[in-house]
C-alpha cells in the first residue's frame, strides 16, 4: 500500500494499478469544465496542486484505519506548508463486488467505523474547546490536535453526484483552511452562493437539509460528513470518542476484514 502522501500522479511508484485509476478519476471529476464540481475551493486546491493524496486498503479491514491514521498524522504536521486550499484526499481500495453491491447505508456504516477506529489511534488530546458531545453545535471531528471537516463519497450514490466516487473516498479539510476562507465574509458569501448554484445543477436532488455552517445553533457537523442519496439521516451520531478506560466500542470489522 502506498503510504506516502503525494500531490499528483507522478508521485505514484507504479502505474496500471487501482491507485492510479482512482487518482485519474478524481482529477477528471474536479477538472471537468462542463459538469463543474460544486465545491469551488476544492477545485482551486486541485488546480493549485495543494491537495494531498493517500491510499488505504479495503475499508472493511481494520488495517485500513491504521493506514488512515498514519496519513492523518503526516498531513497534520505538514498541512500548513501545502497552501490555504489544502485537503487530504484518501482513496480506499474498493473491489468490484463492494463497489457494485454496497449500499449507501453500508458505506455509511463503514465511514463511522473508520472514524471511531481513527479516534482510537489518535495519540493527541483533542482541543479543550471542542465538546465531547457530537450533538453540540461546536463539536467537530479532531485528529492529532487539529479540527477537521470530514467528507465521504461512495460508489453507491446516484442522485447526489457531489457525493459519488467510484471508490470509497474521504476528503479531509482542516478547520484553519475553512476559517481562512471565511475570513473575508463578502467574498466567502459570493463563493458560497456560486457553490449552491453549482450543486443544484450537479445533483438530481436538492441540497440536503442538514447542510449548514459550523457554529450555527441548528448545525451539527457530524450530520454533514456523510450525506445519504436522499434527505433521510441518522437520528443519533454513531461516533463514540474513546475516553480513558472506555472499552464500550464494539466494531464489526476485524483484523482480516469480511470476505464479502
What pLDDT score was predicted for residue 214? 87
Cell numbers at 248, concatenated: 464500550
Q: What is the pLDDT of residues 151-162, one digit of tens each?
A: 999 999 999 999
DSSP reduced 3-state for 179: helix
Confidence (pLDDT) at 15: 81
Q: Could you tell me how far CA 128 lies from the centroid of its own chain?
A: 23
Classify residue 254: in a domain, yes or no: no
pLDDT digits (tens, 9 = 90+) for 211-230: 988 877 778 999 999 999 99
The three cell numbers of residue 37 are 464540481
CB contact at 8 A, 62 and 117: yes
Q: Which three cell numbers stand for residue 249?
A: 466500542
φ and ψ of 195, to 5 deg = -60, -45
Q: How confident is the model at residue 136 (pLDDT cuts 50, 70, 90)?
A: very high
- Rounded to an integer, the average pLDDT of 98-105 is 98
- Quick check: is 190 in a domain? yes
In a domain, 66, yes or no: yes
pLDDT at residue 67 is higher than 60: yes
Res 252 pLDDT > 80 = no
Give the CA diameter of the chain: 53
The length of the chain, given as a count of residues: 260
> In 61-100, which positions are buried (b, 16+ CB within 10 angstroms) versus exposed (e)?
bbbbbbbbbbbbbbbbeebeebeebbbbbbbbbbeeebbe
Contact 218, 212 (CB under 8 A): yes
Q: What pLDDT, on a 0 to 100 scale, did the predictor assign at position 16? A: 83
The pLDDT of residue 10: 93
Taking residues 49-70, what's their average pLDDT? 98
The candidate with the shortest Cα–Cα distance to 102, out of 166, 156, 164, is 156
Q: Can you give the residue range of the structural domain that contains 156? A: 9-224
User: What is the chain's mean pLDDT, rounded?
Assistant: 91
User: 133 with 111: CB under 8 angstroms?
Assistant: no
Domain count, the chain: 1
Average pLDDT over residues 176-202: 96
Tell me the CA distances in angstroms from 195 to 61, 98, 188, 200, one per residue in order.
Answer: 35, 31, 10, 9
Res 232 pLDDT > 50: yes
Cα 54 to Cα 221: distance, rounded to the nearest angstrom:
24
By the 8 A CB rule, do 172 and 151 touch?
yes
192 belongs to a structural domain: yes
The answer to whether residues 96 and 155 touch, using CB atoms and an 8 Å cutoff, is no
Q: What is the pLDDT of residue 1?
A: 56
- pLDDT in the model for residue 2: 52
Assess if residue 53 is contained within a domain. yes
Kindly state whether residue 179 falls inside one of the protein's structural domains: yes
Question: Does residue 1 sit within a domain?
Answer: no
Q: Is residue 251 part of a domain?
A: no
Say if residue 243's pLDDT is above 60.
Answer: no
Share of the chain above pLDDT 90, in %: 85
0.95 surpassed by pTM: no
In the structure grid, which three cell numbers stand for residue 250, read together? 464494539
Can you give the pLDDT at residue 253?
46
Amino acid at each position: 500500500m502506498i503510504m506516502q502522501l503525494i500531490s499528483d500522479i507522478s508521485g505514484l511508484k507504479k502505474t496500471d494499478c487501482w491507485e492510479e485509476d482512482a487518482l485519474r478519476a478524481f482529477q477528471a471529476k474536479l477538472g471537468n469544465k462542463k459538469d463543474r464540481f460544486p465545491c469551488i475551493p476544492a477545485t482551486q486546491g486541485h488546480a493549485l496542486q495543494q491537495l494531498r493524496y493517500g491510499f488505504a486498503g479495503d475499508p472493511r479491514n481494520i488495517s485500513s484505519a491504521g493506514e488512515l491514521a498514519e496519513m492523518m498524522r503526516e498531513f497534520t504536521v505538514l498541512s500548513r506548508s501545502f497552501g490555504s486550499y489544502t485537503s487530504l484526499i484518501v482513496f480506499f481500495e474498493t473491489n468490484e463486488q463492494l463497489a457494485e453491491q454496497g449500499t449507501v447505508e453500508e458505506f455509511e456504516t463503514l465511514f463511522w467505523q473508520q472514524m471511531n477506529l481513527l479516534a482510537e489511534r489518535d495519540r493527541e488530546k483533542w482541543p479543550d474547546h471542542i465538546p465531547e458531545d457530537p450533538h453540540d453545535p461546536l463539536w467537530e471531528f479532531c485528529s492529532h490536535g487539529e479540527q477537521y471537516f470530514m467528507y465521504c463519497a461512495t460508489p453507491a450514490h446516484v442522485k447526489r453526484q457531489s457525493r459519488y466516487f467510484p471508490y470509497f473516498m474521504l476528503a479531509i479539510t482542516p478547520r484553519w483552511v475553512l476559517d481562512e476562507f471565511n475570513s473575508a465574509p463578502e467574498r466567502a458569501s459570493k463563493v458560497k452562493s456560486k457553490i449552491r448554484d453549482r450543486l443544484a445543477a450537479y445533483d438530481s436532488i436538492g441540497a440536503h437539509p442538514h447542510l449548514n455552517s459550523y457554529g450555527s445553533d441548528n448545525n451539527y457537523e457530524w450530520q454533514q460528513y456523510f450525506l445519504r442519496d436522499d434527505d433521510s439521516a441518522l437520528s443519533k451520531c454513531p461516533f463514540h470518542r474513546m475516553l480513558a478506560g472506555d472499552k464500550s466500542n464494539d466494531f464489526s470489522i476485524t483484523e482480516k476484514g469480511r470476505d464479502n
